[in-house]
Amino acid sequence: MHALMVARNQRFPEIKTQGLWGLARSGIRPVVFTSAHAHYSIEKAAIAAGVGLENVVFVPTDDRGCMDAEALRTLVVREIESGGTPFFVNATAGTTVLSAFDPLDEISAVCQEFDIWLHVDGSWGGPLALFGDKSLFNYRIPAGKVNSLTVNPHKLLGIPMQCSFLLVRDGLGVMRDSLGLGATYLYHSAPPDAVDQDDEERHINSQYMQRLGGSWDLGDATMGCGRRPDAIKMWISWRYYGTQYFCDRVSRARQLAIDFAKLIVSRSTTKAGRWKLFTEPQSISVCFWFIPHSQAQRYENAADGEGESLRKEEYAEWWGDVTKALCDRINADGAALVDYATVERFRAASAGRPGEFVGHKVPYFFRIPFNNPNVTLGTQSAVLDAIEDASRAIYG
């Protein structure tokens, strides 16, 4: 929310004093863009910032779940032509379901072309991009091309909740300019430089103070005044464990996802049914189906079109019902807890104006993200065994 509000006030500075009425009076309609697979927090931020859900444009993704940069550009042009003012693009480094990473170089090129603030939601996958072994996961956040980045160390890095960071390329001063009120009864400018500093030290400190907007105090630069020192959790953990621990932790999460996907593929077909990956895991989440033989035979014999779909190695709608039933059974037993999810897949509309896409929901699949470094191959095998056991109990 802070990133969107700062971007909004930087692009439309009159909002700080006139509110949205100032924009309406000028006929300005702010528009936000985000991946169709992005976290719902961007929609809540749009509500809080007064942008409104109707002015949030969802950009289609490719089959891996990554934002389509060409589609983004098409949609930006379409909004401009219809009277909108694009000001904020939310890209994702690690989507919630597929753990997909949007192509930041291509997206940043679009943002630079149209003078749009580029925010990267790295709440889930950011640490993998920052600390991960490049031989296992080669993804970078392009230097200087991202206006803001969020990272939640309480997720992939295992830091105690709550621990979230908003990093702004141009410094805290941008936030202070956008949101600050200069309440001098609470906030004061930084003290003069120490007398024992040499000229170089004074110059460096002066640059820091300029980027900070005159003070290290976050209160006047954010919507909240008092706050708990959540950053201390990250600092203590980093001091105690060291950088290599974080590198090893996120790299192990990536390796676990790779190993689990291979395990699913190696099982392929068993006596109970057939295993099928939805996609190869991009990072740390593995999404897949289990198709019981008895149900596959039932639907093929029903001659309702689903059997033909199955034989063509596509997915069938009833797979989602099976997934939910298996999850419910496993979770009720309590030996393991598993979850399911769905996403949309997109194709360009056969008719209509540029930027028109048709999305369809994929049948529910198992979604297992890897984070806990104590997971072993035995743990992974036990999860797959539990799914097969549940299938036999329900479908025979």
Please, are residues 263 and 381 in contact by the beta-carbon 8 Å criterion?
A: yes
Q: Tell me which residues of the chain have a pLDDT lower than 50.
A: 303-313
pLDDT of residue 1: 82
Report d(CA 18, CA 379) in Å as an integer: 57
Residue 230 burial (CB count, 10 A)? 16
Report d(CA 126, CA 164) in Å as an integer: 11
SS3 content of the chain, % helix, strand, coil (to 5): 45, 20, 40
pLDDT of residue 345: 87
pLDDT of residue 222: 76
Nearest to 102 by CA among 114, 115, 118: 118
Report d(CA 30, CA 110) in Å as an integer: 17
Q: Which residues contact 381 (CB under 8 A, 6 or more apart)?
A: 263
pLDDT of residue 311: 41
Q: Which residues contact 51 (CB under 8 A, 6 or more apart)?
A: 4, 8, 30, 31, 32
pLDDT of residue 282: 92
pLDDT of residue 228: 81
Residue 241, token pair as written in the block: 């464990």
Q: Which residues contact 143 (CB under 8 A, 6 or more apart)?
A: none
Residue 147, token pair as written in the block: 């206006």
pLDDT of residue 298: 72
Residue 144, sorted as left (phi over 0), alpha (psi -120 to 50) or beta, turns out to be: left
Report d(CA 108, CA 37) in Å as an integer: 18
pLDDT of residue 72: 96
| Dihedral sign for Cα atoms in the order 83, 86, 91, 96 | negative
**Residue 201 phi/psi, 5° resolution?**
-65, -40
Report d(CA 160, CA 256) in Å as an integer: 22
One-letter amino acid of 221: A
Residue 66, token pair as written in the block: 């990554």
Report d(CA 94, CA 76) in Å as an integer: 23
Q: Is the pTM of this model over 0.75?
A: yes
pLDDT of residue 305: 47
One-letter amino acid of 117: W
Residue 274, token pair as written in the block: 């057939």
